[in-house]
Chains A and B, each alone.
Chain A
Amino acid sequence: MKQKTVDYLLRNQSKTPSQWREEAEWRRENAAWLQYSQRIAVLLLAYMKAENLTQQGMADRLHCTQQYVSKILKGRENLTLEVVANIERALNIQVINL
């Protein structure tokens, strides 16, 4: 019964390969540190909302570029402890609670 539909789908397959599996596997392999990165992003987003800050305003406080803030907010940056410490100092917030 499905053969006719499958033939149609095969004729109308995307011309370029999908990245979904590659990206999903990357997220799974890196899930442990991504969780920290995503939680830091959420903390910063909440801070920006509370302070009514734009990404540029946040960049000014962190002494970095707006592009770098944008990357951090995506929750995909493997931040160093130095960067985390700089964020804590610049914003006067606690990110790591050991």
Chain B
Amino acid sequence: MEFDKILTNNNLWAVRYDNETDNVLQQLFSQWSDPEWLMNFFCDNMSDLEAYFKITDVNQAIYDTIDDSNELQCLILDLSPDSNLDKLFRPLENNRTQEMLLGREKARLARNRSHASWLRLYAIKLEPGCYIITGGAIKLTRTMQEREHTLRELNNMELVRNLLLQEGAIDADGFTDYLSETNEDYLYETENS
């Protein structure tokens, strides 16, 4: 596994998996703009599209995906070293409120047309404002465990997380200190509010 620097200040990275010619951003945006790939995907997942989004027109699903992909792509392209990545990514688990070591995160478009965007980018959070993108998906179901292609993304996040831990690439003590400081700040704010 290798890594590509996306922002020059080292705050955003993308994984390049073994035997792949480029990183996950290149692969995802290439697939999400490819009508043939999208036609195959939506035909294979037609029942989810109908059940969860009440959409029966595959062509419209493809057009919507390409539109959203273009928008998400512009969002990433226009990121600068000053951008606040914590506004782009949020915890994968909707009910998670506390920081966790190498937390799993997701990015999605906030825009709602007739339906919410089903595109997701997945990442591991190294610390506030610093992320590694591990993959992405067209998420048509409520949970990621329900389908093989989204389950694979969960596994990839775990793969990257484990690699960083096994390789000793994480400053766990620093994280503990950071958590203590965050909790102290939180307690101070709570006590004084």
| A45 to B41 CA separation, bound complex (whole angstroms) | 13
CB-based contact B30/A14 at 8 Å = no
User: CB < 8 Å: which of B3, B35, B74, B127 contacts A28?
Assistant: B74
The secondary structure that dominates the A interface is: helix
Across the interface, do B33 and A9 meet the contact criterion of CB distance under 8 Å?
no
Confirm or deny: A82 has a beta carbon within 8 angstroms of a beta carbon on chain B. Answer: no
Chain B nearest Cβ from A57, distance in angstroms: 15
A74, B35: Cβ atoms closer than 8 Å: yes
**Residue A97, interface by CB 8 Å:** no
Bound-state Cα–Cα, A19 to B4, Å: 10
Q: Is the CB of A1 within 8 A of B36?
A: no
> Which of A36-44, A60-68, A83-91 interfaces with chain B?
A36-44
With A12-B3, A45-B39, A46-B59 known to touch, is A20 a contact of B22 (CB < 8 Å)? yes
Q: Is the beta-carbon distance between A9 and B36 smaller than 8 angstroms? A: no
Annotate B157-178 by CB proximity to A: 1 below 8 A, 0 otherwise: 0000000100101110011011
Do the beta carbons of A24 and B36 come within 8 Å of each other? no
Question: Quick one: which of B140-193 are within 8 Å of A by CB?
Answer: 164, 167, 169-171, 174-175, 177-178
- A41's contact among B23, B26, B35, by CB below 8 Å, is which? B35
CB of B39 within 8 A of CB of A42, answer yes
Residue tally, chain B, CB below 8 Å to A: 44
A51 within 8 A of B: no
Is B171 a contact partner of A28 (Cβ separation < 8 A)?
A: no
Q: Are B39 and A13 in contact (CB under 8 A)?
A: no
A23 touches B35 (CB 8 A): no
Task: Please give me the residue from chain A that is nearest to B13 by CB atom.
Answer: A9
Answer whether residue B2 sits at the interface, using C-beta atoms and an 8 A cutoff. yes
Judge whether A13 and B33 touch: CB under 8 Å.
no
Q: Which residue of A lies closest to B5 (CB)?
A: A13
Neighbouring B residues of A28 by C-beta, 8 Å:
70, 73-74, 77
Report yes or no: B35 in contact with A18, Cβ–Cβ below 8 A. Answer: no
Select which of B2, B70, B164 is within 8 A of A15 by beta carbon: B2
A73 touches B3 (CB 8 A): no
From A4, A8, A38, A39, B33 is in contact (CB under 8 Å) with: A38
Provide 6 A-B residue pairs closer than 8 Å at the C-beta atoms, listed in order of the A residue: A1-B178, A5-B130, A6-B130, A9-B3, A27-B70, A43-B59
Using a CB–CB distance below 8 Å, which chain A residues touch chain B?
Answer: 1-10, 12-15, 18-21, 23-25, 27-28, 31, 34-35, 38-39, 41-43, 45-46, 49, 73-75
